[in-house]
Structure 1
Amino acid sequence: MDRKSGALTVLLTGASGGIGHALAHSLAARGHHLLLQGRNTLALDQLRASLPESHRHLVVSADLRDPQQRQELVRTCRSLPNGVDVLINNAGVARFALLADIDDAAMRSVLETNLLVPMALTRDLLPLLQRSRQAALINIGSAFGHIGHPGFSIYGASKSGLHSFTEALRRELGDSQITVHYLAPRAVDTSLNTDAVVGLNRALGNRSDSPQQVAEQCVALLEGGRSARRFMGWPERLFIKVNALLPSLVDSALVKKMPVIRRFAEQNHLNGETS
């Protein structure tokens, strides 16, 4: 993993997913060196092979919910001659379901993957990041972490927690050289969306962005040089502000949509789909 002058070493979790795939290509095109983490080794190898100068990148297959596998990833990062400059906590899982249809295992999976893993991995890599003069942390959140949307209660709670964690850490590290960023996309067009989720977005008129658009915003944060948070999409940014100031208005608007939300959530549950 030869390092070129000016290039950053970036650990990207969830690299083989839609946003991760787009991010990997955007970062590799800028000459950065990537550690591509995911659980599907074949998909990671295929991604690596598709990147420019593929020999500059490493694949690390690991289930980050497993503490031992997470520590093995950390040891790999420590073994690199130049350490790690950037951690992008992108790995995540969605769950579209009414609360009554979510069992303990599903709750645990969402909360561990979306919240506990980024917190633990960030903690474990902080000593390594603190050695870099260009250290950065980017947490990928969601608009649903700021608007409590029916059918996404557990997912929204995990992303809300990630935002609070990022905000506190940004202040905790405010007197260090580590920049801390938070990016909240709205709906994103990826193959992980189930038919019910696609149908719900269509029925409600929800707009979505491509993984490439999310990747562009993430890279812009990285290159901005200062800690920042960014919310994607209009009118989603407006709804987030209204929800913070006048949540009862959003309550009324979403309650009126419950028959549609319930219909698609039940469809998702009957089909045994998990996102």
Structure 2
Amino acid sequence: MRWSRFWSRSPTLPEGGWPAQRILLIGASGGIGQALVDEFTAAGARLLISGRRTEVLTALAQRHPEQVTALTADLTRPEERRRLAAAARELGCNMLVNAAGVNRVGLFEACSDDEIERLISTNLTAPLQLTRALLPVLLEAKHGWVVNLGSTFGIIGYPGQVGYCATKFALRGFSQALRRELADTRIHVLHVAPRATHTAMNAPEVVAMNRELGNAMDPPARVALEVRRAIERGREETQLGRPERLFTRLNGLVPMLVDRALKRQLPIIRRFVGTPREELS
């Protein structure tokens, strides 16, 4: 093995830059998704955007009429994934940005079967299936990109968000494994992990809990900017927030310390996301 190859990073955007990019963005009707549309179009890219809220997608397409095509789709349905993949092939997309996601904040014991299934189908199954469907298109491109939006909770397990953490851990593992499987192709697989973000996904009690715990929350525009920078610089793994990066490194090295720190937060977390339970001795 040549060590220069071992230590190399993914290249930045090839000749043509952003105006040469044809992007399929799923989850465009969410807070981060809308910010990504504005960020990518400002850079010059053309987009095929998808989400569940038609009125939001229509407004985005009207805001960027020369660059954005909108297609409403529920990606938990196989027939709608096929329809979206066909539209992406027709446009000649060379980049897939998986930004769709749902959250469920609350104690795991109170989580229903339907809630767990919705988390898995939206956060994991849909991006995996859509990525697989688009791989032939991306392989034909001069350079192809798969950009998965994960979460800090896909690097560190957090109480009150067990199901969400499980799906985001899996998405990160998928990104890493796919990157290694495609290492001898022209497809570049990136994983970006935002920290808490001010979007409609976070209920008011979650915002209040983060405030009491001292957890920072980024605006969606900041996340979108960091996603664009990660693509431009070829950063295969990006995690937002310096304290969060330090905390996750500590979690990897000495998880027992993080266990203790989060245990001290449990009374606050339970007060906001569920009924406190009796401690067992």
Q: TM-score, normalization: structure 1?
A: 0.91
- Taking the TM superposition and a 5 Å limit, the aligned residue runs for 1:1-275 are 6-51=19-64, 54-80=65-91, 83-224=92-233, 226=234, 228-266=236-274
Using the TM superposition, give the Cα deviation of residue 192 of structure 1 relative to its aligned residue in structure 2, in angstroms. Answer: 2.4
Q: 1:223 to 1:5 in 2, by over 3 A?
A: closer
The amino acid that maps onto 2:40 is L
**Separation of aligned partners in 2, 1:6 and 1:64:** 27
The amino acid that maps onto 1:189 is H
The amino acid that maps onto 2:163 is I
The amino acid that maps onto 1:97 is G
| Contact preservation (8 Å) 1:183, 1:230 | yes
**Separation of aligned partners in 1, 2:254 and 2:18:** 50
Q: Secondary structure at the match of 1:76?
A: helix
What's 2:11 paired with?
Answer: none
What's 2:278 paired with?
Answer: none
Q: 1:10 to 1:230 in 2, by over 3 A?
A: same
Q: TM-score, normalization: structure 2?
A: 0.90
Using the TM superposition, give the Cα deviation of residue 227 of structure 1 relative to its aligned residue in structure 2, in angstroms. Answer: 5.4
- Higher alpha-carbon deviation: 185-194 or 166-175: 185-194
Identity, % of aligned positions: 42
**Separation of aligned partners in 1, 2:197 and 2:184:** 34
Q: CA RMSD in A?
A: 1.6
| Contact preservation (8 Å) 2:18, 2:45 | no
**Separation of aligned partners in 2, 1:5 and 1:44:** 21
**Separation of aligned partners in 1, 2:143 and 2:232:** 10
**Separation of aligned partners in 2, 1:162 and 1:89:** 10
Q: 1:124 to 1:249 in 2, by over 3 A?
A: same
Using the TM superposition, give the Cα deviation of residue 211 of structure 1 relative to its aligned residue in structure 2, in angstroms. Answer: 0.6
| Contact preservation (8 Å) 2:18, 2:43 | no
**Separation of aligned partners in 2, 1:60 and 1:138:** 19
**Separation of aligned partners in 1, 2:210 and 2:36:** 24
Using the TM superposition, give the Cα deviation of residue 154 of structure 1 relative to its aligned residue in structure 2, in angstroms. Answer: 0.4
**Separation of aligned partners in 1, 2:18 and 2:118:** 40
Q: Secondary structure at the match of 2:70?
A: strand
Using the TM superposition, give the Cα deviation of residue 56 of structure 1 relative to its aligned residue in structure 2, in angstroms. Answer: 2.8
The amino acid that maps onto 1:79 is E
Q: Secondary structure at the match of 1:208?
A: coil
Unaligned segments of structure 1, at least 5 residues: 268-275
The structure 1 segments of at least 4 consecutive aligned residues displaced by more than 2 Å after TM superposition are 4-7
The amino acid that maps onto 1:116 is T
Equivalences, count: 260
| Contact preservation (8 Å) 1:179, 1:227 | no
| Contact preservation (8 Å) 2:147, 2:190 | yes
**Separation of aligned partners in 2, 1:113 and 1:157:** 13
